[in-house]
Structure 1
Amino acid sequence: MPKRNWLLSVLAIAGCWQLALPASGQALLPYTLNLEAEELETQGLALVQDAIQLARFEQYDLALPRAKLATQLAPDTFESWFVLGSLYVQQQQLDEGITVLRRAQRLAPREAGILFTLGSAYFQKADYQAALRELEAALRLDSTSLEGLFDLGNTYLMLKRFPEAIATYKKAMEQEPRFWPGVNNIGLVRYEQGDIEGAIADWEAALAIDPNAAEPMLAIAVARYRQGRQSEALKQGQAALALDQEYGSLDYLKKNLWGDRLLADAARFFSNPQMQALTTISPNP
């Protein structure tokens, strides 16, 4: 999969980029306490905006304390808890993130972005049944979310529910026909089903969308190597790793949802002397 700022994706799903800040100074003078509460909430939501902008530039160490303070100043707005929970998940503090996101959900039970983020948190914990529950609920509220459909497809893939994974990736492609990761992951599914030629066709289709996509390029090389087309495979594999050397790690490929068959074939491919210098092979793919 291409690298993406996951946090920004879920915030975009939820529509939290332009938060509506409550107007300050509109209360009558006798209602001083209400005015102070409104001002605190305004300051809290302004901090939420700051945290989002800092996250945009991956300055999470600065974004997190602002989001924490926002929950104190605006405890009754779901946005403050949602952004804090999302930051925790982005930083792999998954249990903390889930706890905070549940509070956001109590404030906004029909906010799809919260459910999408919970789904991602459970996916990262490898609790795929819980991820499935949250993502399906989110998509009932927002059925056209490209990121949500892709994450649901990935969840079906990890559960080895292959037909449902393919169908969901295809739904994602309906939203954005040039979304090559969806085509790429259909290839991952087909390979695990034993359809090597079908997988290669999908990866070639992904490359037709983005000729510089290292993942489908490497996957084709691994498949060709298995088929005995070594010269072609080695040339294409070297070209893929020249684009992104991270794909030379089996651990990295596993994080990108390569299945057992494809990982085993990648290990054999990487063991070729011409590939060894470019790769990092872990002992247990």
Structure 2
Amino acid sequence: MPKIINLVSLLLVCGLSSLPVPVRAQALLPHTLQLDAAKLEKQGLSLAQEAASLGQFQQYEMALPRARLASQLAPKSDKVWFLLGGLYLQTKDYPNAITALKKAQTLNPKNADIQFALGSVSFQQEKYQEAVAFYQAGLKLKPNDSEGLFDLGNAYYMLGRLADAIAQYNQAVSQNQKFWPAINNIGLIFYEQGDSQGAIKKWQSAVALEKQAAEPLMALAVALYTKGDQKQAVVFAEQALRIDGRYADLEFLKQNLWGERLLGDTKKLLELPAIQAALQQGGS
């Protein structure tokens, strides 16, 4: 049974909203509106493209209604359901995200990206073992996907399986040598394990690959500060905070998998007068 399409929205899509409403005699049955399914599906895919564009600019309140209508007009498109699920995920509406993604999975069970997205829903809900299962399922379909390998590494990280996490990060880098987030996260693990020098080398490598990456810059600043190189630490910290001021927020850093040792040392760095001055200047 096809989904019931909202008539008001449908009239708008079909360009019929401006037509006069006929006066119906009681004895006459209303005419049935004949709809072209192919045209409706095409319109749905067009709406999905608009929603995707809006989503890229984080305009989710505008993107979601378009994506929802697109899923009604093109209900057999796994891409539309995948988009809708992704938008729900971005707005942290996890139940609706799961529903939409499961629908996409039913339509296209061989799409690894759907498995990865379901893994992300589980990860954000802190269901890390469940996330591992989804990421592994995705990697069976797309074994060389660097982002999928990275996500699996993050799930292992949160489960405390650090050796497994490092192995996945290294695999991600082997597939994409410029994939600096995986290199960065190996540094996070090294630092918590007491290997400051190993962490510094990883963060230096990450910065060399992406000079505008605030995270390895800030982490590198913290590590150098703890080793006594305050001058260089301040330079790197100021540079990182100019790129992204959120790296002065310890809660944000925790969400980005920074461990207790690194967070404690970051707090000390942020208390320096030079860093405080930079933060005040940035906020003015």
Q: Distance in 2 between matches of 1:242 and 1:69?
A: 40
Q: Distance in 1 between matches of 2:205 and 2:148?
A: 22
Q: Distance in 1 between matches of 2:163 and 2:279?
A: 32
Q: Distance in 2 between matches of 1:233 and 1:58?
A: 33
Please name the residue that 2:109 is paired with.
109
Q: 1:275 to 1:95 in 2, by over 3 A?
A: same
Name whichever of 233-242 and 101-110 sits farther off: 233-242
Residue pair 1:203, 1:220 contacting (<8 A) in 2 also: yes
Shift, 1:200, TM fit: 0.6
Q: 1:51 to 1:211 in 2, by over 3 A?
A: closer
Percentage of identical aligned residues? 49
Q: Which runs of 5+ in 2 are unaligned?
A: 1-32
Q: Distance in 2 between matches of 1:210 and 1:107?
A: 38
TM-score (norm 2): 0.79
Residues 113-154 of structure 1, C-alpha deviations (whole Å, 9 max, x = no match): 111111111111121111111111111101122222221222
TM-score (norm 1): 0.79
| Higher RCO structure, 1 or 2 (CA under 8 Å, sep 6+) | 1
Please name the residue that 2:3 is paired with.
none
Residue pair 1:249, 1:279 contacting (<8 A) in 2 also: no
Q: Distance in 2 between matches of 1:145 and 1:121?
A: 18
| TM alignment of 1:178-189, pairs within 5 A | 178-189=178-189
Please name the residue that 2:122 is paired with.
122
Please name the residue that 1:28 is paired with.
none
Pair 1:81 & 2:81 matched: yes
What is the identity, as a one-letter code, of the residue corresponding to 1:60? Y
Name whichever of 239-248 and 111-120 sits farther off: 239-248
Name whichever of 239-248 and 137-146 sits farther off: 239-248
Q: Distance in 2 between matches of 1:164 and 1:235?
A: 34
Shift, 1:60, TM fit: 2.4
Q: Distance in 1 between matches of 2:35 and 2:100?
A: 27
What is the identity, as a one-letter code, of the residue corresponding to 1:78? D
Q: 1:265 to 1:72 in 2, by over 3 A?
A: same
Pair 1:62 & 2:86 matched: no
What is the identity, as a one-letter code, of the residue corresponding to 2:212? N
Please name the residue that 1:29 is paired with.
none
What is the identity, as a one-letter code, of the residue corresponding to 1:49? Q
Q: Distance in 2 between matches of 1:193 and 1:34?
A: 68
Q: Across the two proteins, how many residue pairs are aligned to each other?
A: 248
| TM alignment of 1:247-262, pairs within 5 A | 247-262=247-262
What is the identity, as a one-letter code, of the residue corresponding to 1:211? K
What is the identity, as a one-letter code, of the residue corresponding to 1:249? D
Q: 1:242 to 1:47 in 2, by over 3 A?
A: closer
| TM alignment of 1:159-198, pairs within 5 A | 159-198=159-198
Shift, 1:262, TM fit: 0.7
What is the identity, as a one-letter code, of the residue corresponding to 2:38? E
What is the identity, as a one-letter code, of the residue corresponding to 1:214? A
Residues 87-129 of structure 1, C-alpha deviations (whole Å, 9 max, x = no match): 1111221222112211221222221111111111111112111
Name whichever of 36-45 and 204-213 sits farther off: 36-45
Please name the residue that 2:217 is paired with.
217
Shift, 1:75, TM fit: 2.2
Please name the residue that 2:151 is paired with.
151
Q: 1:75 to 1:239 in 2, by over 3 A?
A: closer
Please name the residue that 1:47 is paired with.
47
Shift, 1:279, TM fit: 5.1
Residues 48-70 of structure 1, C-alpha deviations (whole Å, 9 max, x = no match): 23322332343322221111112
Q: Distance in 1 between matches of 2:145 and 2:79?
A: 19
Q: 1:86 to 1:225 in 2, by over 3 A?
A: same
Residue pair 1:248, 1:278 contacting (<8 A) in 2 also: no
Q: Distance in 2 between matches of 1:203 and 1:63?
A: 36
Please name the residue that 2:243 is paired with.
243
